[in-house]
Structure 1
Amino acid sequence: MGKIERETNSLSYFERNKYDEIAESNEFQVLDKKKRAFLITSISIMMIYFFTLPIMAGYFKPLMMKEVPVFVNFGYLFATSQFIVAWICAAIYTKKSNQFDDMISEIYERYIGGVQNDKL
């Protein structure tokens, strides 16, 4: 039996009903849709951007070898930009996840009363 199953089984009948009530609430459904839309969109954009480098390196070698004004070729510049984009994506994800955490805390407080991080 996994940790999640044990924790779920240790919840009282009242707590299980409250969690079911939260999961079925309109507020939680809206939050879940927003979260899924953000994750699917951001993951798709990141994957397209990051897989562009190996595709371009394989099929567009003349473009990747083209010199740019900073004395490197486009391939190196594009590869370096991936590090910058990764940090930007991490910052955006962190900010957005904090917003989702605040929203779920409000929902939890409304239904259960008080934030209890050990049970979330």
Structure 2
Amino acid sequence: MGALPQKDHMSSAALPNKPDYTQLVQQADFQKLIKKKKSFIVPMTIFFLVFYFMLPILAAYTDILKADAFAGLTWAWVYALAQFIVVWIAGIVYIKKAQGYDALAASILTENKEELDV
């Protein structure tokens, strides 16, 4: 049996150079940005998950949500509708916060443009 022809691989010199982000992610400004994002995202996520899963827990194991709230609606309906409101508010708040994070990220990239351009 004959040998299979070898594919001609591109040499490493022909591949485009990729920026090295190692130095960028170790900078204090970048670490500060990540810390700010985490300090907002982690508590918001925990709040949302607790708020979301409390409805089925309260509905299944307590009678709190069975009581009339107003106009013939029970607290279960009020709580369920409040979840929609919370999602919209959280989305709006995140969009506003993300604009600040995007501005910080853009300034970090601008400051390090020479290092990242290859």
Establish whether TM, by shorter chain, passes 0.5: yes
Match of 1:6 in 2: none
Q: Answer 1 or 2: higher relative contact order, Cα 8 Å, separation at least 6.
A: 2
Which is greater in Rg? 2
The alignment of Structure 1 onto Structure 2 pairs a total of residues equal to: 101
- Deviation for aligned residue 1:20: 2.3
So what's the TM-score if we normalise by structure 1? 0.76
Higher-helix-fraction structure: 1
Identity %: 26
Q: Structure 2 length normalisation: TM-score?
A: 0.77
| 1:41 aligned residue (3, 27, 43) | 43
RMSD between superposed Cα atoms in Å = 1.8
SS of aligned partner of 2:44: helix
1:7-22 aligned within 5 A: 10-12=16-18, 15-16=19-20, 19-22=21-24
Q: Map of 1:1-120 to 2, 5 A cutoff?
A: 10-12=16-18, 15-16=19-20, 19-60=21-62, 62-112=63-113
The whole-number CA distance in structure 1 between the counterparts of 2:41 and 2:16 is 31
Gaps (5+ residues) in structure 2? Answer: 1-14
Q: Which amino acid aligns with 1:110?
A: E
Instruction: Give, as a single letter, the amino acid of the residue that structure 2 aligns with 1:109.
Output: T
Q: Distance in 2 between matches of 1:10 and 1:57?
A: 58
Runs of 4+ in 1 over 3 A off after TM superposition: 9-12
Task: Say which SS state the counterpart of residue 11 (structure 1) adopts.
Answer: coil
